[in-house]
Chain A
Amino acid sequence: MRFHSPASFEDAANIAASATGVTRFLAGGTDVLVQLRADIVEPDDLIDVKQIAGVKDITRRSDGGWDLGVAVAGAEMTEHAALMADWPGLVEGMGLIGSTQVQGRATLVGNLCNASPAGDASPGMMAAGVTVTVTGPNGTREVAVEDVPTAPGRTSLEKGEVVSAVHIPARGANGGDAYLRFIPRTEMDIAVVGCGVNLRLDGDIVTEARVALGAVAPTARLVQDAADAIIGTTLDDAALDALAAAAEAACMPIDDKRGTIEFRTDVAGVLAKRAAKIAYARAKGDTK
């Protein structure tokens, strides 16, 4: 295994583009090292992006949104009071990944590009409308996070491409988000189901909503029908039931060691309702 620590994303992209074997980018390493240890993937070239300037920065843009470096760890997001205040659901999703120790290293981009259907950060990012900058040998492009994972362990990134920045939209007025997952224990498990909800209110009425589900399909995904079920409502019981039904209908899960199809489908509806209620309360100004 060759180890590279380039000083720019352009260099990183060029190393990756010219590599002939298995290539992995290293930020937090909490997936790469597990795969290495378990003999699942031993990269021929491992490209550490942490020596690139700005990768640990959290910056508020002039439009009120946020730009995050790709090596910002979960713990750094959780400790960032202003970011947490804007996007508690997104940050909580990231914060649920692994242990305190894993939080010291794990990143949003790592979770996204590992492309596990059950990644806890992805539904929250999708619900929030996060985009990433992708740098390749031929320049950069912006990609919505929901367009990054294409299948378990696979992304839409081309050979030589690397995610070089994360962009979170401005929170704006009367908005709230939430992420909930179900796990058998209280910590340390992979999500059996995950659900992120982001919405905006006008008075008591939901005017905008995005709902994303994790662990119930080959990739984490936005569910437009679920969002539509609550837009224009006050999130009354009928809306919540419609939301749950839409979430359940969107499930295409598998039976595996972590949960059954039936369980995942049922709990997707339950979590969608619960997350929507939290997001709604937050949009109303509840800071819990």
Chain B
Amino acid sequence: MALDNKNNEFKVIGSTPNRPDGLDKVTGRARFGADISVPGMLHGAVVRSPHAHAKIVKIDASKALAMKGVKAVITRADFPEGLEGEDWNLQENAMAGEKALYDGHAVAAVAATSPLAARDAAKLIEVEYEVLLHVTDVDEAMKDGAPAIREGAADYSVPEGLHPNVVRFFDTGMGDLDKGFAEADLVVERSYTTEAAHQGYIEPHACLGQMGADGRGELWCCTQGHWFIRRMSTAVLGVETTNIRVTPSEIGGGFGGKTTITIEPLSLALSRKAGGAPVKMVMNRGEVLRATGPTSSASMDIKMGMTKDGKITAAHGTFRMQGGAFPGAPVDVTTMLAFANYTIENVHHIGYDVITNRPKQAAYRAPGAPMAAFAVESTVDEMCRTLGLDPIETRLKNASRDGTRSTFGPKFGPVGLVESLEAARDHANYKMPLGPNQGRGVASGYWMNWGGETSASVAMSEDGTVTVSVGTPDIGGSRASMALMAAEAFGIAYENVRVNISDTGALGVNEPTHGSRATYASGLATIKAAEECITKMCKRAADKWGIDADAVIWEDGSAKPSGPNAGEFDPLSIGEICAEMGETGGPISGHYEGSPTGFSGSFGTHVVDVEIDPETGHTTVLRYLVVQDAGKAIHPAYVEGQFQGGAAQGIGWALNEEYIYGEDGRLQNPVFLDYRIPVASDLPMIDTVIVEVPNPGHPYGVRGVGETGITPPLPALANAIADATGLRMRGLPMTPPKILAALKAQKNG
């Protein structure tokens, strides 16, 4: 039967074949969200609030409706009332009700016969606003006197006496902090801030929705998870979930930002109002930056104690995070993972989820983890410097490992932090000599990974080739990984597997490609479904040979008799069995559905060298190393790609990316010119080491690898800058003006 992680003699796992969708993607044929058109299609455009916080007094669409080619205008009045909880949040975010809650908040939408007509018509929709006081900063939003964005948004967890903008409160911990700090030789207490960063996928959101008066319809869109889009869109529109079939296009990046809805329900509502004509909607970059979720910004206080030989004795963290105008800042995850790298007996986390006049945050790669990592790993680095300790040896001394209790409660199973630290320590990059104004930084990071609802099918074709149907969109080569796992399970060639990303009509509910779950969960489902096919094929062979199915084994793509009483038969190949399946019992397929719980987290350690221009404060990244535990790398090239991409995003967040709001509460940089993501000339090659500590909860040992990589760069860069300059930067991004000002202050004592 299939191999497991006790017998790692893989045949195709670990190889790096060409991805199945490669040809489409290098020839321009792959169809992304905005590439889909259908006959009779209309085009939609959205009217967005120019105010951070304003009462919507009146919307007059008469001029737009009088325009030739305009087929429908919708406002919140076209959506059902009475939604509650997150459904109401989603509806309110998709289309403002009584108030516009942030710059860019949708207030109306229009469908017309061409993209330009829709844009022109949107400009003719007159919205009268009564501007209200706004707040965009998390610390400001918690202060007395800050405008309350929505009274009553707080849940049961919030203690009395806090500002109504505090909507959720977290308080977790264990041990005895006083005792822990008393045992320390050094106690450090520091405050940190991080700014909101956008996922920055290159493909803006796009969709094509069609819905009739009966509430039935179709939605094509770029998304990380089309079942999520279906559930959310139908909830917002008040129609039955099954009535909308959602088909995912190729997706031009998501990083968490495409796990939720934005324009999708608008296209469906416009379609319904326009008599069922399909309505295509494509965001522009400004809309993406103004109105789709960046991650949260954070304000944090860290207190840690360490003995002079480097043992962490106690840790306390307070995390204040804003996630826009709705509850949902990932402060739960932030508090959970803040100190996860370390075994600490006495630990305490406090978290505040705060609403502000900013767009509703969306998940962004390891949501919640990088902010805390910046604060905690910077503090640990500072303590190591103060005590004259090596940052890697100190981390090894305290590292979470198999059997240690995590700072969030459960015990770890086999995990790869120690291995990643050792590999980083032994890597050539850690030994490279540094020149003047250069410095080296180290930091580790963690993501706990996820399983989630998973449904997949594997169907045999008549020639013995295989179709795998999964529900997790392929964002970074996962079709190749699924095909490799199926090929491994069947003992057939990689090329003999075709992987489809199925629509919502073809499989049970699937969670999105998020949480670093696709290769783990859809992979596990693929293997289990393949095993079901193999069991069925063994039965067909047994029937043919007239022996017990138990006496047939599957090896190298063939059924073979096995055991003393099985008899002597030539093996039946997968091709031979499938060629006859019509006569031997009909089609053969396998299926898996479940919410697998055997996921296991991935630790990583990054080492970065920088050079600081002492006259301008400019940071140059000289070299970069990512070491991370993949459990088992199914397609190592795409595993490396995840490491490198996470590092690059983290570097951007650390150095230059930020949401800049003016005094008026408007976003000042909703354009790639000023929302500065790393360009090719900003980065060096990003070296990688894949550590493999197999995950016992996956048949082949897989751990998700997508998210951990964005976590260490924030503190690693800060630590490198500290090494180069002696400056401890505690606010992100660490821009040249901030570094130069700090250098001047340092010089002036």
Binding site for B on A (CB under 8 A): 37-39, 182, 184-190, 192, 256-260, 262-263, 266-267, 270
Nearest-CB distance from A180 to chain B (Å)?
10
Q: How far is the CA of A61 from the CA of B736 in the complex (A)?
A: 43
B19 at the interface (CB under 8 A from A): no
Q: How far is the CA of A260 from the CA of B676 in the complex (A)?
A: 17
Partner of B286, one of A38, A185, A257, A258: A38
B682 at the interface (CB under 8 A from A): yes
A-B residue pairs, 9 tightest by C-beta: A263-B737, A186-B681, A270-B615, A257-B660, A257-B668, A260-B737, A187-B681, A186-B682, A184-B656
Would A184 and B735 count as touching, CB distance under 8 A?
A: yes
Q: How far is the CA of A184 from the CA of B617 in the complex (A)?
A: 9
Closest-by-CB residue of B relative to A182 is B616
Q: How far is the CA of A56 from the CA of B438 in the complex (A)?
A: 46
Q: How far is the CA of A188 from the CA of B616 in the complex (A)?
A: 18
Nearest-CB distance from B483 to chain A (Å)?
36
B674 at the interface (CB under 8 A from A): yes
Would A262 and B741 count as touching, CB distance under 8 A?
A: yes
B669 at the interface (CB under 8 A from A): yes
Nearest-CB distance from B616 to chain A (Å)?
5
Q: How far is the CA of A187 from the CA of B680 in the complex (A)?
A: 9
9 contacts between A and B (CB under 8 A): A184-B735, A185-B676, A187-B679, A187-B682, A257-B660, A257-B668, A260-B737, A260-B741, A270-B615
Q: How far is the CA of A260 from the CA of B618 in the complex (A)?
A: 14
Partner of B616, one of A185, A189, A260, A270: A270
Closest-by-CB residue of B relative to A38 is B286
Chain B residues near A188 (CB-CB < 8 A): 672-673, 676, 679
B20 at the interface (CB under 8 A from A): no
Would A186 and B679 count as touching, CB distance under 8 A?
A: yes
Closest-by-CB residue of B relative to A259 is B737
Size class of the B contact interface (CB-based, 8 Å): 20 to 34
Q: How far is the CA of A192 from the CA of B737 in the complex (A)?
A: 10
Would B673 and A190 count as touching, CB distance under 8 A?
A: yes
B622 at the interface (CB under 8 A from A): no
Within 8 A of A (CB), among B145-195: none
Chain A residues near B333 (CB-CB < 8 A): none
Partner of A263, one of B284, B676, B741: B741
Q: How far is the CA of A189 from the CA of B735 in the complex (A)?
A: 13
Q: How far is the CA of A29 from the CA of B524 in the complex (A)?
A: 52
B740 at the interface (CB under 8 A from A): yes
Closest-by-CB residue of A relative to B652 is A185
Closest-by-CB residue of A relative to B656 is A184
Would B673 and A184 count as touching, CB distance under 8 A?
A: no
Q: How far is the CA of A270 from the CA of B673 in the complex (A)?
A: 24
Nearest-CB distance from B679 to chain A (Å)?
5
Chain A residues near B681 (CB-CB < 8 A): 185-187
Most buried by A among B616, B671, B672, B744: B616
Most buried by A among B618, B672, B678: B618
Closest-by-CB residue of B relative to A263 is B737
Would B682 and A185 count as touching, CB distance under 8 A?
A: yes
Would A184 and B679 count as touching, CB distance under 8 A?
A: no
Binding site for A on B (CB under 8 A): 123, 284, 286, 615-618, 655-656, 660, 668-669, 671-674, 676, 678-679, 681-682, 735-737, 740-741, 744
Q: How far is the CA of A266 from the CA of B676 in the complex (A)?
A: 22
Chain A residues near B616 (CB-CB < 8 A): 182, 267, 270
Closest-by-CB residue of A relative to B740 is A263
Q: How far is the CA of A186 from the CA of B611 in the complex (A)?
A: 14
Q: How far is the CA of A81 from the CA of B741 in the complex (A)?
A: 41
Would B673 and A189 count as touching, CB distance under 8 A?
A: yes
Would A182 and B736 count as touching, CB distance under 8 A?
A: yes
Most buried by A among B615, B681, B682, B741: B615
Q: How far is the CA of A38 from the CA of B671 in the complex (A)?
A: 10
Q: How far is the CA of A257 from the CA of B676 in the complex (A)?
A: 11
Chain A residues near B740 (CB-CB < 8 A): 263, 266-267
Partner of B618, one of A37, A184, A256, A258: A184
Chain B residues near A39 (CB-CB < 8 A): 123
Most buried by B among A184, A190, A258, A270: A184
Would A184 and B615 count as touching, CB distance under 8 A?
A: no
**A185 with B656, Cβ < 8 A, contacts A263-B736, A263-B737 known:** yes
**A184 with B676, Cβ < 8 A, contacts A262-B741, A263-B736, A263-B740 known:** yes
Given A189-B673, A190-B673, A263-B736; 7 other pairs, CB 8 A cutoff: A38-B286, A182-B616, A185-B676, A185-B681, A188-B679, A257-B669, A263-B740
Chain B residues near A260 (CB-CB < 8 A): 737, 741
Chain B residues near A182 (CB-CB < 8 A): 616, 618, 736
Would A258 and B674 count as touching, CB distance under 8 A?
A: yes
Chain B residues near A185 (CB-CB < 8 A): 656, 676, 678-679, 681-682
Closest-by-CB residue of B relative to A269 is B615
Chain B residues near A270 (CB-CB < 8 A): 615-616
Q: How far is the CA of A262 from the CA of B741 in the complex (A)?
A: 8
Q: How far is the CA of A39 from the CA of B678 in the complex (A)?
A: 27
Q: How far is the CA of A174 from the CA of B671 in the complex (A)?
A: 43
Q: How far is the CA of A187 from the CA of B668 in the complex (A)?
A: 20
Closest-by-CB residue of A relative to B683 is A186
Nearest-CB distance from B423 to chain A (Å)?
30
Closest-by-CB residue of A relative to B680 is A187
Q: How far is the CA of A189 from the CA of B660 in the complex (A)?
A: 16
Closest-by-CB residue of B relative to A189 is B676
Q: How far is the CA of A267 from the CA of B736 in the complex (A)?
A: 10
Nearest-CB distance from B648 to chain A (Å)?
13
Chain B residues near A190 (CB-CB < 8 A): 673-674
Q: How far is the CA of A185 from the CA of B735 in the complex (A)?
A: 10
Q: How far is the CA of A38 from the CA of B284 in the complex (A)?
A: 9
Closest-by-CB residue of B relative to A99 is B679
Chain B residues near A186 (CB-CB < 8 A): 679, 681-682
Q: How far is the CA of A154 from the CA of B273 in the complex (A)?
A: 46
Q: How far is the CA of A37 from the CA of B741 in the complex (A)?
A: 36
Nearest-CB distance from B624 to chain A (Å)?
15
Nearest-CB distance from A189 to chain B (Å)?
7
Q: How far is the CA of A187 from the CA of B676 in the complex (A)?
A: 10
Chain A residues near B736 (CB-CB < 8 A): 182, 184, 192, 259, 263
Chain A residues near B656 (CB-CB < 8 A): 184-185
Chain B residues near A189 (CB-CB < 8 A): 673-674, 676
Closest-by-CB residue of A relative to B620 is A186
Chain A residues near B671 (CB-CB < 8 A): 38
Q: How far is the CA of A257 from the CA of B656 in the complex (A)?
A: 11
Chain B residues near A37 (CB-CB < 8 A): 284
Q: How far is the CA of A260 from the CA of B735 in the complex (A)?
A: 11
Q: How far is the CA of A270 from the CA of B616 in the complex (A)?
A: 8
Nearest-CB distance from A204 to chain B (Å)?
25
Q: How far is the CA of A266 from the CA of B682 in the complex (A)?
A: 23
Chain B residues near A262 (CB-CB < 8 A): 737, 741
Q: How far is the CA of A76 from the CA of B669 in the complex (A)?
A: 31
Chain A residues near B618 (CB-CB < 8 A): 182, 184
